[in-house]
Chains A and B, each alone.
Chain A
């Protein structure tokens, strides 16, 4: 079961994993008086939507209230067409940096496995990832950063700004702690966790687990 936005944020907070300033709403009227952090990202949160990007339900770089209104209506049209009625909107500040993917899965032989890679084609196309069985030690995390083929990107390369490796290691350690402690959670995607020179922010988290456990 995919955890909803509220539970997801609670869990991130519990393990001191940073996430962007977020506003959750169901219709535009709810946010007419709110201060919106432009440029922002608009996303749809629904149990029925697994791959938001593929359905066209992620809108980035929204600069104004007018644009936000338009994108919200676009999203509603797609949802109506797909006959999805239970959903809410998520509005987030834009975080700049390099898109990293970290995640966890449960393996029947070894237990919790932590996976790390750089977002986009590196992971999607080249499957350039490194992994370790949890619990991780700091040494493991540092090794993981050095094991991917595209490791040089972490130091800054063309359009990719350099990342704060300490904060990235820190995020991996926190994910490992979460994986070991929250027995009811079976799979996690932080895709992406955006890392820049200052820190690491979980921009999109998908957590699978038993909500009632």
Chain B
């Protein structure tokens, strides 16, 4: 299916003009209230990222006069004009009748928040089939049911009952768990992470992971995709789509359900050797996906891949003002297959001649500038090392000594980023309180910074793998 068509297909969800909340509620602890408030104000909790939705919002509730100052309508059929998107938050038993009204109103997309479908058994499964039939006839696309909703910060759209609007950014996050999204958003505000889109997949009876991937492939705001997955219905189809999408945009995946307690007894040796998560991992690697081991890695890798260029080849340099920190980082790199490039004679000669190096500086990779390094020494070292052809990226470590200049060191990194746009730079500002401001400066400029050099190595490894995948 051509990409632009998929783009159009999900447009009613991510860039609608008019949204109806069917099941808007007065009860402040209900999802129906949360969704309406999120659309009207940008979020349930107060946050400076919240923006009211620019398009029209309609509250549907036959028993209420008005909610949050919004006049309520009895049915979606009473809405004047076109409705692109309906968010359904009613009891699952009346979802089919609400769907029929949406069909009559020619609604283009519905997000069914309500639970009580396939996840509860046969009765719910039947209800899913019923609404799918209505949707197929009326050409309505469905996200959910049993989901949290979606968010599109760049479009001021929060059609969910999540805590608030996340920061606008370039990572699309699709999750098979809605609850996880709640926590990720809260945490992303602290971390300065932004999103191009967030979507909760729910039971995925119609719009599936693969549809979201194809949409994100063509979305201008998305530079990397983060996926949280519990399971797949059609592995072959997923592989086909993921392989195509990952040629254009990096995909990072975190898969849960990795330990298999009740593995079926199988009749062959091979059967016993290939556990379910092993097979998932093999499949993911075959389509160029980056596998995250935990939540931190999922977003750290996605952020890094979104904003830093891929490594042309495997071979990087560590620049540090602390010998121990440099060796620690080198150990991590070696452990995960990140190669350290040897400094060339020319590079060392330039550093020697600069007159700014400490007499005891290391002259090799990891390049230890010694503890009293000021920003000038960092600046010369970063520039000289990046000039060396077979250096494909650098990790800059800063330990906080009394004379260290965190802000100026960060500026040296930013200058280098402009001068060498094709070589990734990852920093490891080891510290906390006293480095906070400079870390914020780095983060605001999309330099991946990690207090822990291990994480810097993981991020660099992702960029090396990305380069390898793109080379084919």
A interface, CB within 8 angstroms of B: 2, 50, 101, 103-105, 107, 109-111, 113, 115, 117, 123, 127, 129-133, 140, 187-189, 191, 206, 208
- Per-residue interface assignment for chain B, residues 261 to 298, with 1 indicating a CB less than 8 Å from any chain A CB and 0 otherwise: 00000111111011010111011001000000000000
Query: Which residues of A sit under 8 angstroms from B266, Cβ to Cβ?
Result: 105, 187
* Complex CA–CA separation, A191 to B235 (angstroms): 28
* Complex CA–CA separation, A145 to B295 (angstroms): 31
The answer to whether A113 and B267 touch (CB under 8 A), given A107-B274, A123-B273, A131-B274, is no
Query: Which residues of A sit under 8 angstroms from B286, Cβ to Cβ?
Result: 132-133, 140
Query: Which residues of B sit under 8 angstroms from A103, Cβ to Cβ?
Result: 268-270, 273
B232 contacts A104, C-beta separation under 8 Å: no
Query: Which residues of B sit under 8 angstroms from A206, Cβ to Cβ?
Result: 268-269
The answer to whether A110 and B283 touch (CB under 8 A), given A117-B273, A131-B278, is yes
The size class of the interface chain B forms with chain A is 20 to 34
The SS class assigned to the B binding surface is helix
- Smallest distance from the beta carbon of A85 to chain B beta carbons, Å? 22
* Complex CA–CA separation, A109 to B232 (angstroms): 7
B271 contacts A105, C-beta separation under 8 Å: yes
* Complex CA–CA separation, A103 to B231 (angstroms): 24
B269 contacts A101, C-beta separation under 8 Å: yes
* Complex CA–CA separation, A111 to B286 (angstroms): 14
* Complex CA–CA separation, A115 to B282 (angstroms): 10
Can you report 7 A-B residue pairs in the complex whose CB atoms are below 8 A from each other? Answer: A101-B270, A105-B270, A115-B274, A132-B282, A140-B286, A187-B270, A189-B270
Closest to A50 in B: B267
The answer to whether A133 and B283 touch (CB under 8 A), given A105-B266, A111-B236, A187-B267, is yes
The SS class assigned to the A binding surface is strand
* Complex CA–CA separation, A110 to B236 (angstroms): 5
Query: Which residues of A sit under 8 angstroms from B235, Cβ to Cβ?
Result: 107, 109-111, 133
Closest 4 pairs (CB-CB, A-B): A103-B270, A110-B235, A109-B235, A187-B268
Query: Which residues of A sit under 8 angstroms from B233, Cβ to Cβ?
Result: 109
Query: Which residues of A sit under 8 angstroms from B282, Cβ to Cβ?
Result: 113, 130-133
Closest to A1 in B: B267
B407 at the interface (CB under 8 A from A): no
A189 contacts B268, C-beta separation under 8 Å: yes
The answer to whether A187 and B271 touch (CB under 8 A), given A113-B279, A113-B282, is yes
* Complex CA–CA separation, A121 to B270 (angstroms): 15
Query: Which residues of A sit under 8 angstroms from B351, Cβ to Cβ?
Result: none
B470 at the interface (CB under 8 A from A): no
Residue from B236, B269, B270 whose CB has the most chain A CB atoms within 10 Å: B270
Query: Which residues of A sit under 8 angstroms from B273, Cβ to Cβ?
Result: 103, 115, 117, 123, 127, 129
Closest to B282 in A: A131
Which single member of B236, B268, B280 contacts A188 (CB below 8 Å)? B268
* Complex CA–CA separation, A54 to B150 (angstroms): 57
Which single member of A107, A140, A191 contacts B279 (CB below 8 Å)? A107
- Smallest distance from the beta carbon of B169 to chain A beta carbons, Å? 31
- Smallest distance from the beta carbon of B231 to chain A beta carbons, Å? 8
- Smallest distance from the beta carbon of A128 to chain B beta carbons, Å? 10
Query: Which residues of B sit under 8 angstroms from A101, Cβ to Cβ?
Result: 269-270
Query: Which residues of B sit under 8 angstroms from A113, Cβ to Cβ?
Result: 274, 279, 282
- Smallest distance from the beta carbon of B400 to chain A beta carbons, Å? 39
B239 contacts A208, C-beta separation under 8 Å: no
A191 contacts B267, C-beta separation under 8 Å: no
Query: Which residues of B sit under 8 angstroms from A115, Cβ to Cβ?
Result: 270, 273-274
* Complex CA–CA separation, A132 to B271 (angstroms): 14
Within 8 A of A (CB), among B393-433: none
The answer to whether A188 and B283 touch (CB under 8 A), given A107-B235, A111-B236, is no
- Smallest distance from the beta carbon of B18 to chain A beta carbons, Å? 39
A188 contacts B279, C-beta separation under 8 Å: no
* Complex CA–CA separation, A123 to B271 (angstroms): 12
- Smallest distance from the beta carbon of B34 to chain A beta carbons, Å? 34
Query: Which residues of A sit under 8 angstroms from B239, Cβ to Cβ?
Result: 110, 133
- Per-residue interface assignment for chain B, residues 225 to 246, with 1 indicating a CB less than 8 Å from any chain A CB and 0 otherwise: 0000001111110010000000
